[in-house]
Amino acid sequence: MEVQKLLVTPSPHILAKTNTRNIMVGVCIALLPTLIASAVIFGWYVLLLCGVTVAACVGFEALYCLIMKKPIPVGDFSAVVTGIILAFNLPPAFPLWMAIIGAFISIVIVKQLFGGLGLNFANPALVGRMVLQLSFTGPMIAFTYPQSVAGVDALASATPLYVLQQGTVPLMDLLLGTHGGVLGETCAITLIVGGLFMIFTKIISPTIPVVYIGGVFVLKFLLGIGGGTAAAVAGMDALGSILAGGLLLGAFFMATDYTTSPYTRRGKIVYGIVLAILTVAIREWATMLEGVSYSLLLANLLVPYINGLTRQRPLGVKKGKKPAADGKGAK
């Protein structure tokens, strides 16, 4: 057979199957159980809200790229992930037009103005949530109680973290998510299932969630003990504090965002510890009840420094030695 043109490229000539799109779709799948749980707990409006944020995120990204004459990143699904996570950070009865503003902030301001995928300095959905929190504080803290919980005020502004300060929330409610909160943070079981799915499919490494959640547990426990509480009670309190609020959502789905988390295992451990300390400090001593989003934002800003300080030592390089000036012997 006459050979036609041969393709010539540098090696390697085979590549792994994983691509950006697979990864992002995997994250969407991991988020799905929580979305379903949320719809069951808070009602169908949640699905509409999530659909609107996703559509707005994808639409804003396409529109921006069209106007800026950039290639439209159709199909990488990263805007879909941002949309779902943004919705997960909103109260269940949040007005749609405000959610669309949040999507604009996330995608256009935080992601695309800084260069698009991989170049944003902070998690887009997170900043979107914060801008909404500061702009529309009322609706953002209007935590509807689940319909299933009878006899409770439908607009009580109580989240488990608030209630925990007053008394206790049954552990079962925390696990099932039948309590107030933003729509994606309440159901601990589905968040953990989604997180484990991402770990087993190697989308994320377990380092950050384990260190972060473990760190919060240990710190809360120690603070409890230090405050004179019995070990068993302090343990239950600490357990409650990792199940309540946005910790699981933050640890599995937001702290592990590739762009805004460190590269190496060492860096990820440092990042997890920083997050745990900040979260507990804010929850304990600041005026805010919820510490996850602000700790994430602060830690996001530290990532470039953490990366610079936690590089792995290349094979054969002696610690503290200056780079070889002559490059001698290096083949």
Partner 1 sequence: MLQKLRTMGKGAHVPHRKGTDELATVTMPLPPKVVMVMQQHIGAPCLPSVNKGDEVFVGTVVGKAQGFVGADIHSSVSGKVTGIEQVMMPGGALMDAVVIEPDGQQTIAPEITPPAVRDRESFLAAVRAAGLVGLGGAGFPTAVKLQPKDLDAIDTLLINAAECEPYITVDNREMLECGDTVLSGIMAVKKYLEIQKVYIGIERNKPAAMDLMFSLTKGDPDLEVVALPARYPQGAEKVLIETVTGREVPNTGLPADIGVLVLNVTTVSAIGKYLASGLPLMTKRLTVDGGAVVEPKNVEVPIGTPIENVIEFCGGFKTQPTKVLCGGPMMGFAMTDLSFPILKQNNAILALTAAETDISVDTPCIRCGRCIGACPVRLSPIEIAEAYDAKNIEMLGKLHAEVCMGCGVCSYVCPAKRLLAPKTTLARLLYLKEANK
Identity of the residue, 4 or 166, whose beta carbon is nearer to partner 1 in the bound complex:
4
Q: Which residues contact 219 (CB under 8 A, 6 or more apart)?
A: 276, 277, 280
Contacting partner 1 (CB under 8 A), which of 68, 72, 113, 119? Answer: 119
Name the DSSP letter for residue 205. -
Contacting partner 1 (CB under 8 A), which of 232, 311, 319, 320? Answer: 311
Identity of the residue, 67 or 315, whose beta carbon is nearer to partner 1 in the bound complex:
315
259 binds partner 1 (CB under 8 A): yes
Give the long-range contacts of residues 305-312, CB within 8 A, separation 24 or more: 306/262, 306/267, 306/270, 306/271, 306/274, 307/262, 307/263, 307/264, 307/267, 309/267, 309/270, 310/262, 310/263, 310/264, 310/266, 310/267, 310/270, 311/264, 312/264, 312/266
324 binds partner 1 (CB under 8 A): yes
Cα 249 versus chain centre, distance? 6
Number of residues that bind partner 1 (CB under 8 A): 50
310 binds partner 1 (CB under 8 A): no
153 binds partner 1 (CB under 8 A): no
Computed from CA positions of residues 254, 255, 256, 260, in that sequence, does the dihedral angle turn out positive or negative? positive
72 binds partner 1 (CB under 8 A): no
Q: Tell me how far, at minimum, the Cβ of 307 lies from partner 1, in Å.
A: 8
Identity of the residue, 75 or 170, whose beta carbon is nearer to partner 1 in the bound complex:
75
Cα 178 versus chain centre, distance? 21
Binding site for partner 1 (CB under 8 A): 1, 3-4, 6-16, 18-20, 22-23, 73, 76, 78, 116-119, 205, 258-259, 262-265, 311-318, 323-331
